Amino acid sequence: MVDGDPLPPFGPLLRRSRLAAGLTQTELAAASGLSVRAISDMERGRTGRPQRRSVELLAGALAGGGGAAARGLVEAARAAGLTPEPGVPGDGAPACELPPDIPDFTAREHAVRRLAAALAAVGRRAAGTAPSGHGLTLIGGHPGAGKTALAVHAAHLSRSRFPDGQFFVELAPAGRPVHRPDDVVRRLLQSLGAAPDAGGGSLEEASARLRAVLARKRVLIVLDDAVSEGQIRCARPAVGESAVIATCRRRLSALAGAECIEVPVFGPEESLAFLARMLGEERIRAERADAARVARWCGHLPLALRIVGCRLLARPHWTMRTLVDEVLHDPRTRLRELRSGDLTVGAAMAAAFGVLDEQTRAALRRLAAERTPGFSPRSAAVTLGCSVARAHRIVGDLIDGHLVEVLEGPRPGDPYCVIPPVVHLFATGAAEPAGTGPVQRVV
């Protein structure tokens, strides 16, 4: 082709470039991460306006056969009136779909260091200088403990390690059904510019395509609020330098080789530091005793503390004493008061209850109604009128759901469990927590 000559249409140019590189459609599909059908449709002109990211992937795969062919492909696409697709990077810029970082992120230094180390190790594993693994880190903890905030904060800190993009998938979006594994794979393939095959295909085939794309890239994926291993397993890289951080509504123990980080509630001083970041250190110093009581009533739960801070910022005439004396003083109404805008502790608790079966939900409500500070599986069996074996299963489900705190019991193998304050409020105040939307959607 002579400089200045008009470029042929995109489809014929793609075919010519592929043949010049000595590639079959199948080989180009494997090199680009696109499907054979997508490449065939583009070459035949069935795809009127290919996505910009698809063109970039094709150009990158063809670059080894000569830079001119790759540049010509991009120029032909521009001549065809190619415009950026929503969420797809243009001009080679990596996509970042992460939510904004939390400006008042507080504490969690140890967890942040562990996450940073796990993400840094991905590149060393690919180079053979670190133990083998699969770039997967799971974050668990009580509902409202700040699992998503930690994942997003750590992802932002490590963006430079993943220059091919950082992607975020909400696995259990409010008001919508929980995403199935095939939904997750389709969403990620689209974000990566490798649109799923229009003709469908099995989950295994789609997951294999996703793994092939991830193997050639350095991508960070954050999967938020997983309820099953399948939602994570389908997106897990097999080799290469991509990584996944997944926050989990319940303990997911069947994902071998994953790094697991448990996020506890704040300690008393961390709670005050968090409120100080939101409201100002001078105010917390002046109202320290009342602030400490509010934090204790919130169970030192980050979500509850954030709601308290938001309500105080929205009502400058309120003081901590107002919360203590007039707003949060009654345990029977405290949970209803822990809401601000679309932030609500009750919804987080309902979602956590939703992963339990009805018998386990009823058991937790019965155990919460007892006036004892805690229980073991043996004492729970007495309270529930069931066998010790059945009580062990119930307690295990509550532990996996992050709805009880586990302390060391007096007998080996017989853990002592305590229901956290806010979970206790929900369990005793919501006679039918499964009757609301969030729980029904999960179940």
Same domain, 372 and 251: no
Cα separation, 251 vs 402, whole angstroms = 8
Q: What is the pLDDT of residue 78?
A: 62
Same domain, 299 and 374: no
Cα separation, 253 vs 258, whole angstroms = 9
Same domain, 294 and 255: no
Q: CATH no. for residue 72?
A: 1.10.260.40
Longest dimension (CA), the chain: 88
Per residue of the chain (443 residues), give pLDDT as tens. 444 444 457 788 888 888 877 778 877 776 666 777 788 888 887 765 677 667 777 776 675 544 455 566 666 666 655 543 443 444 445 688 999 998 888 889 999 999 999 998 886 665 554 455 568 999 999 999 999 999 999 999 999 899 999 999 999 887 788 899 999 999 999 888 876 665 557 888 889 999 999 998 999 999 999 999 999 999 999 888 999 999 999 999 999 999 999 999 999 999 999 999 999 999 999 999 999 999 999 999 999 999 999 999 999 999 999 999 999 999 999 999 999 999 999 999 999 999 999 999 999 999 999 988 899 999 999 999 999 999 999 999 999 999 999 987 667 767 899 999 999 999 998 534 443 333 332 22
For residue 364, being part of any structural domain is answered with: yes
Q: Directed axis angle between helix 345-354 and helix 302-314, to 10°?
A: 160
Cα separation, 171 vs 246, whole angstroms = 10
For residue 349, being part of any structural domain is answered with: no
Same domain, 53 and 163: no
Helix (H, G, I), strand (E, B) or coil at 36: helix
Kind of pairing, strands 220-226 and 243-248? parallel
Per-residue exposure over 229-242, b if at least 16 CB sit within 10 Å of its own CB, e if not: bbbbbbbbbeebbb
8 A C-beta contact, residue 249 and residue 241: no
Same domain, 182 and 250: yes
8 A C-beta contact, residue 279 and residue 313: yes
Same domain, 68 and 117: no
8 A C-beta contact, residue 422 and residue 301: yes
Domain hosting 433: range is: 355-442
For residue 218, being part of any structural domain is answered with: yes
Tokens of 200: 């469908």
Q: How many domains would you assign to the chain?
A: 4
For residue 101, being part of any structural domain is answered with: no
Same domain, 165 and 231: yes
CA–CA distances in Å: residue 83 to residues 48, 74, 89, 166: 12, 12, 11, 22
For residue 334, being part of any structural domain is answered with: yes
Same domain, 141 and 255: yes
